Amino acid sequence: MVTGALGQVGTELTPRLRERYGMENVLATDIREPVEGAHLGLFELLDVTDLHRVREVIKEYDIDYIFHLAAILSAAGEMRPQLAWRVNIEGLRNILEASREFEVERVFFPSSIASFGPETPREMAPQDTIMRPKTMYGITKLAGELLCDYYYYKYGVDVRGVRYPGIISSEALPGGGTTDYAVEMFHYAVKEGHYVCFVSRETVLPMIYMPDAIRAAIELMEVDISRLKHHNAFNVSGMSFSAGELEEEIRRHIPHFTVEYRPDFRQGIAETWPRSIDDSAAREEWGWRPLYNLSFMVEDMIMKLKKKYEKGLLS
């Protein structure tokens, strides 16, 4: 079962899981209906804050693995902090509680670089370090990591997770995060040749390309637990670059592309996050290796988006 399956990650993780485990073996769920005509396979409406419904769906489908993606991201969470708390904390608790009750075999929980704070070393943020997040989203992600630990040690629920950097992808648009500029920049480059960026040119954040992000989730869920010392909240890294460096790399493919930098409140959020993260624990414990660097990712993104705009799949 995938929760929040219609979001940026679920849109690509769900089909990948279906390819790997069989169409009929993967249930997509979300609080909203899929767009009409989208070929989705098994789907149920599920609000993760509704424990009764979470239990009902897990029981009805005899769920054994859960990829719990439903969440309110950083920028949206600053607009609606109470909602972020409810979805990210109560939703996770419901998933863990029902997993304990129905003996779900494994749960995947994606945390984020947002769980770090300004007191964390900004370069190569370590796996185990000081963490004092300043956004509601970051607070819920850090509390979520701890809640996952609690269910693992107290009840033996096999919950595993990563701390994702900003995820760049070409299928679904991102859903209200601070790193959204890194995806939006591609769309505006391809369709308009100009982008107004909401963080400064110098802002550096860690990022990962979606194929690597999905592989990380699947590899971690499949690894033999005896290899894991951390089991949860693994730093996974792909690349780090400034907004200006991304602009320049895109311009190598679209020479007329220009960007204007007009930082808004999301600049303040970005400044509380590390510029790069150390993922050596993931590398050592389960063999994690990212395959995409900046130039490889930019080339692939532009090729995919150009095709989509040309075919009229995006407007």
Q: Which residues are catalytic?
A: 137
Q: What is the smallest separation between the CB atom of 203 and ligand AKB, expressed in angstroms?
A: 12
**How many residues belong to the chain?**
315
Q: Which stretch binds ligand NAD (CB under 6 A): 16-24, 33-41, 42-50, 55-63?
A: 42-50
Binding mask 68-107 for ligand NAD (x = CB under 6 A): -xxx-x-------------x---x----------------
Residue 112 contacts ligand AKB per CB under 6 A:
yes
Residue number with CB closer to ligand NAD (51 or 254): 51
Pick the closest to residue 143 from 153, 152, 133 (CA basis). Answer: 133
Q: How far apart are CA 205 and CA 113, in angstroms?
A: 9
Residue 138 contacts ligand NAD per CB under 6 A:
no
Residue 4 contacts ligand AKB per CB under 6 A:
no
Q: Say if strands 204-209 and 166-168 run parallel, antiparallel, or are unpaired.
A: parallel
Task: Find which of ligand AKB, ligand NAD, none residue 32 binds, CB within 5 to 8 Å per kind.
Answer: ligand NAD
Residue 13 contacts ligand AKB per CB under 6 A:
no
| CA-atom Rg of the chain in angstroms | 19
Residue number with CB closer to ligand AKB (18 or 240): 240
Residue 179 contacts ligand AKB per CB under 6 A:
yes
The residue within the footprint of ligand NAD, chosen from 16, 25, 31, 251 (CB under 6 A), is 31
Q: How far apart are CA 89 and CA 226, in angstroms?
A: 28
Token reading at 112: 């984020």
- The CB-nearest residue to ligand NAD is 7
The residue within the footprint of ligand AKB, chosen from 7, 133, 161, 166 (CB under 6 A), is 166
Q: Which stretch binds ligand AKB (CB under 6 A): 90-98, 177-185, 278-286, 289-297?
A: 177-185
Contact 45, 33 (CB under 8 A): yes
The residue within the footprint of ligand NAD, chosen from 2, 27, 48, 281 (CB under 6 A), is 48
Residue 177 contacts ligand AKB per CB under 6 A:
yes
Residue 73 contacts ligand AKB per CB under 6 A:
yes
> Where are the strands (E) in the chain, listed by range?
2-3, 28-30, 43-45, 65-68, 106-112, 159-164, 166-168, 194-197, 204-209, 234-235, 239-242, 258-261
Q: How far apart are CA 138 and CA 85, in angstroms?
A: 10
Buried b (16+ CB within 10 A) or exposed e, 106-140: bbbbbbbbbbbbeebebebbebebebebbbbbbbb
Q: Rule CB under 6 A: which residues touch ligand NAD? A: 3-4, 6-10, 30-32, 46-49, 69-71, 73, 87, 91, 110, 112, 164, 166-167, 174-177, 179
